[in-house]
Amino acid sequence: MRYYSLNRQAPDVSFQEAVVKGLAPDRGLYFPKEIKPLPASFFENIENLDNATIAYEAIKQFVGNEIPEQDLKEIVAEVLSFDFPVNQVEDNISVLELYHGPTMAFKDVGARFMARCLGYFNKDKATKEHVTVLVATSGDTGGAVASGFLGVEGVDVVILYPSGKVSDIQEKQLTTLGQNIVALEVDGTFDDCQTMVKTAFLDDDYKDKRSLTSANSINIARWLPQMFYFFFAYKALKSKNKKLVFSVPSGNYGNICAGMMAQKLGLPVHHFVTGTNANNIVPNYLETGNYDAKPSVQTISNAMDVGAPSNFVRIQELHDNDISKLRKNLSGYSYSDEETTAALHQLYDSVNYIADPHGAIGYLALKAYLQNETDVHGVFLETAHPIKFLPVMPKSIADNIPMPPQIEAILHKQKKSIEISNYEQLKNYLLS
């Protein structure tokens, strides 16, 4: 499969090049040149297929012959070695839980897939050409990337996180792994971390010394596997014979955009809903037609504190850059922290479900959309386990969250990080 840059000022590349580069040289995001729908028989039979088979069928055209069938099947099976349960919480609402992976964040799947692809492309190189994955995190991405890449040969991972601004559990997930994972603790905000990473990608001084790539959802190998979730939910809910609506709490819009790719492959999706926190760029665009990216504001759903959603250009491409087409397929709503907290209480009190702040926004947005729709079934995506957001969960709920074993296991491990406060220090580290 060939990929083109959405800025259209760079040559087409293979899957491998797109994964290794991350971003095109013209700073555009890569996008597949062709999207072929899956055969009708696939959807007719989907209830008889296991997750790995469904995922392989969905992803294979995007990889092409660059990873042989058997290897790709193994990669996909390893990536998906945990559950993706769908639970009904109200008559017309189910929740798709995407947090049963090793770091309890939905980003586990994309990070694990990307890591294994890079590992595969590296494995035959006589002189292992090291790739450095550089990533800034506000909390959730870093842990998933660190765990996904742990022990992958030929890949070093450098994670920047804002000191004192991630939860204790998230910090442990970033700083206790060792091996090929290094955590840089930045005296600053998430935006400072992100700026340093962007500066590094534009800095020519690393040429010939380090090959830097990103593990954010701009990378196609992080982004595309997120399609799988939507197929799994369809399989689980098919027997309801209802039109499906997906509500996705969104920040960089990679997850929901992957759902739209699944729809392009023929998955019957009636409509998408996006829920955001105060960073309401997309809902605002859908309402007014004006796209105003702006500096992010801090909220309790901090994995979605994004003021310039990077994948939105892919969503526009999927809708022929036509806002009227987009409005037919996507509705958007935004919520304050107070409304988010109220939704956490509502879910807990009325249906005894413990959501996290991101999932709660997905739930609110779905409820808003369903007010004018009957005869559909709504699914909101739960993107992280609530234990990871303990400091912002209402105490009465937080006290009742059981400690999952994969979190318990890291709590007593020793934190290891390198403190930095400016770009020069990052550069010195990367060139050392």
Ligand X SMILES: *Cc1c(COP(=O)(O)O)cnc(C)c1O
Nearest to 72 by CA among 81, 82, 62, 83: 62
Smallest distance from the beta carbon of 144 to ligand X, in angstroms? 8
Q: How far apart are the first and last CA of the chain?
A: 37
Cβ-based nearer residue to ligand X, 22 or 420: 22
What is d(CA 260, CA 360) in angstroms, rounded to the nearest whole number?
Answer: 21
Cβ-based nearer residue to ligand X, 46 or 233: 233
Smallest distance from the beta carbon of 384 to ligand X, in angstroms? 3
Chain position carrying tokens 């609110």: 364
| Sign of the dihedral defined by the CA atoms of residues 394, 395, 396, 399, in that order | positive
Nearest to 299 by CA among 360, 238, 371: 360
Q: How many helices (H) and strands (E) does the chain have?
A: 19, 14
> Which 3 state secondary structure label does DSSP give 414?
coil
Smallest distance from the beta carbon of 246 to ligand X, in angstroms? 13
Strand pairing of 181-186 and 155-162?
parallel
Strand pairing of 181-186 and 418-420?
parallel
Smallest distance from the beta carbon of 309 to ligand X, in angstroms? 7
**What type of residue sits at position 165?**
K
Cβ-based nearer residue to ligand X, 140 or 185: 140
> Which 3 state secondary structure label does DSSP give 4?
strand
Cβ-based nearer residue to ligand X, 157 or 304: 304
Q: Contact 238/267 with Cβ under 8 angstroms?
A: no
Smallest distance from the beta carbon of 190 to ligand X, in angstroms? 12
Which residues sit at the interface with ligand X, rule CB under 6 A?
105, 107, 140, 217, 249-255, 303-304, 358, 383-384
Smallest distance from the beta carbon of 109 to ligand X, in angstroms? 11
Which DSSP letter does residue 206 get?
G
Cβ-based nearer residue to ligand X, 72 or 261: 261
Smallest distance from the beta carbon of 189 to ligand X, in angstroms? 17
Cβ-based nearer residue to ligand X, 130 or 319: 319
Smallest distance from the beta carbon of 264 to ligand X, in angstroms? 17
Cβ-based nearer residue to ligand X, 181 or 248: 248
What percent helix, strand, coil does the chain show, rounded to 5?
45, 15, 35
Cβ-based nearer residue to ligand X, 331 or 383: 383
Tokens representing 114 are 């990307």
